[in-house]
Amino acid sequence: RKAITPKTKLLFCETVSNPGLDVADIEAIAKIAHEHGLPLVVDSTFTTPYLQRPIDHGADIVIHSLTKWLGGHGAGIGGIVVDSGKFDWKSDKFPLMTQPESSYHGVRWAHDLGDLSPIAFILRMRVVPLRNLGACITPDNAWMFLQGIETLTLRMERHCENSLALAKHLQSHPGVEWVRYPTLDGDKNKPLADKYLAGKGGSMVVFGIKGGAEAGSRFIEKLNLFSHLANVGDAKSLAIHPATTTHSQLSAEAQKAGGITPELIRLSVGIEHIDDIIADVDQAIEASTNA
């Protein structure tokens, strides 16, 4: 509430944060947004509709990167926007919705659509950015995503099963300082994961390797099954050490503020056999920490 000013246009959150894996209390955030006449926009990439449907909990707009779990193979580039059709855009806070659109015969999207008013936002999004910027997914990417979505349920079940098993294994590993996974017993996010994610934690596991940044960088180099990629959500397992890659341009203070610590390893756990996944992680930890 303290962060909201007269200039605020929306509230935004991720269903599960990256890389901290904090689960958002969407109902509570939606209540605050609506108290202030603001829409809640939720990035549900990490959970997909298999684990959570944010609109059912009060979100107004949901976005997904199709490149991640929905596509499932890191082969296509695209995203989607889902409009609940429930938000009233008639406030002066949203001049693009309330002022006449000169290039469309002066239509006021929030006022002049009659029975189509509930889809004013997504209708404007379809026609104006599409015309001005070419915001249209390519046919080959669309085809790849449609193929991926057909197996979403099977993949997500295996992702969640493998991730929980790996997280539990890492909890007792001598080369690991800490483990973060939403449905682990004792994890601060477990109550919210039980409420919003049907007790499943997704396919991201974050842990701290003993030895700090140096050990973290070596760990990545020693992996065999895992691919060293910044992407997430592939059918194959992926790993990255953010402090020396994606966030290396930031100062230590800025990294810490973003939840990036020197020992943090982020794993996107794939659908390979769990024994192979654990074996690869174990040998890489041993090779980089002597644990």
The answer to whether residue 264 scores a pLDDT higher than 70 is yes
Pick from 193, 272, 239, 236: nearest CA to 71: 236
In which band, very low, low, confident or very high, does the pLDDT at 58 lie, cut at 50, 70 and 90? very high
Pick from 169, 285, 173: nearest CA to 224: 285
- Report phi then psi at 132, rounded to 5: -80, -35
Q: What is the pLDDT of residue 134?
A: 87
pLDDT digits over 215-253, tens only?
999 999 999 999 999 999 999 999 999 999 989 999 989
pLDDT above 70 as % of the chain: 100
Q: What is the pLDDT of residue 74?
A: 93
The answer to whether residue 291 scores a pLDDT higher than 90 is no
Q: What mean pLDDT is predicted for residues 42-69?
A: 98
Q: What is the pLDDT of residue 149?
A: 98
Q: What mean pLDDT is predicted for residues 9-32?
A: 97
The answer to whether residue 290 scores a pLDDT higher than 90 is no
Residue pointed to by tokens 């060293």: 228
Q: What mean pLDDT is predicted for residues 67-94?
A: 96
Q: What is the pLDDT of residue 285?
A: 98
Chain mean pLDDT for the chain = 96
**Ordered structural domains, the chain, with CATH:** 11-146 (3.40.640.10), 152-289 (3.90.1150.10)
